[in-house]
Amino acid sequence: MAVILNTLAKSSLKLIIATRLRHHSSLATEFINNMDKKATWDRFYTENNNKATNFRNFEWFFGFDSIRDFILPMLHSPPNDAMLRVLDMGCGTSALGLSVYRDSVWPVQVTCADISPIAVRLMQEQTEIETVLPQNPSSKLDFLELDCTCLCKHFNSERLDLILDKGTIDALLRSKEGGAKASLVLKQCMKVLRNTGSLLQFSDEDPDSRMLWLEKESREPGLIIANVGVQEVGELRGVTYYCYQVTPHPAV
């Protein structure tokens, strides 16, 4: 069943990519097979950024307005008057992290991280050109070139309150050689999240297969167990999207 659902998800993704990138079907297949590679995304963000036209945020699928009601309630009064720490993991040139920084009433430190230096540079340049004022004057925003398979090298354990993943683990899972990287990224998310924190993952993968994967791969025997939940977000171009919430707990 899980294999059939994953095959369906791949074929709808192929159609979306072929349409969006104006690529032939064979190029779309090559793109999907290599979505775990930095070079694929460097080329993607270079091709999508036509210098002659103004920069526009690119959303892999829906933007912040469609998912704000899943994200903003996760933000709360920070512990000990500190800042809430939020990571947009594999931000690309999406406006997701920027929108959380802008709309949070609580003080947040939002880090938008991506493996592609091209995407990171485009985002940095854009925020220098167009200043966005946050609702909370103490909030901060930064951009970071980071391979998220090395999250633990950059963030201390139990450091983050919220990790947002819109399409990043999907990209690793659907590529030819990205399965092990996807598991590694998820395990590292569990380590860098506080025990009150969560990973919110937005994906079109059916709960029948994604819930099992998240439950299995987030577990570290003797160390971490995780609660996994799912809510439906809605439909976009005939595809149903979900919000998966993964919350780590120390195993007792």
Ligand X SMILES: C[S@@+](CC[C@H](N)C(=O)[O-])C[C@H]1O[C@@H](n2cnc3c(N)ncnc32)[C@H](O)[C@@H]1O
List residues binding ligand X (CB under 6 A). 36, 41, 58-60, 90-92, 94, 114-116, 119, 147-149, 166-168, 171
Shortest distance in whole angstroms from residue 214 CB to ligand X:
18
SS3 of 198, please? strand
C-beta closer to ligand X: residue 82 or 142: 142
List the end-to-end C-alpha distance of the chain, in Å, as a whole number. Answer: 33
Shortest distance in whole angstroms from residue 115 CB to ligand X:
4
Shortest distance in whole angstroms from residue 38 CB to ligand X:
7
Residue type, 210: R
SS3 of 188, please? helix
In angstroms, rounded to a whole number, what is the distance separating the alpha carbons of residues 252 and 250? 6
Q: DSSP per residue over 111-160, as a string? A: EEEES-HHHHHHHHHHHHHS----SSTT-EEEEEE--GGGHHHHS-TT-E
Residue type, 61: F
Residue with tokens 């919000």: 243
C-beta closer to ligand X: residue 85 or 174: 174
Helix boundaries (H) for the chain:
2-20, 25-33, 38-47, 64-71, 96-103, 117-129, 151-154, 168-174, 179-192, 207-218
C-beta closer to ligand X: residue 144 or 224: 144
C-beta closer to ligand X: residue 23 or 136: 23
Shortest distance in whole angstroms from residue 210 CB to ligand X:
15
Shortest distance in whole angstroms from residue 61 CB to ligand X:
7
C-beta closer to ligand X: residue 60 or 241: 60
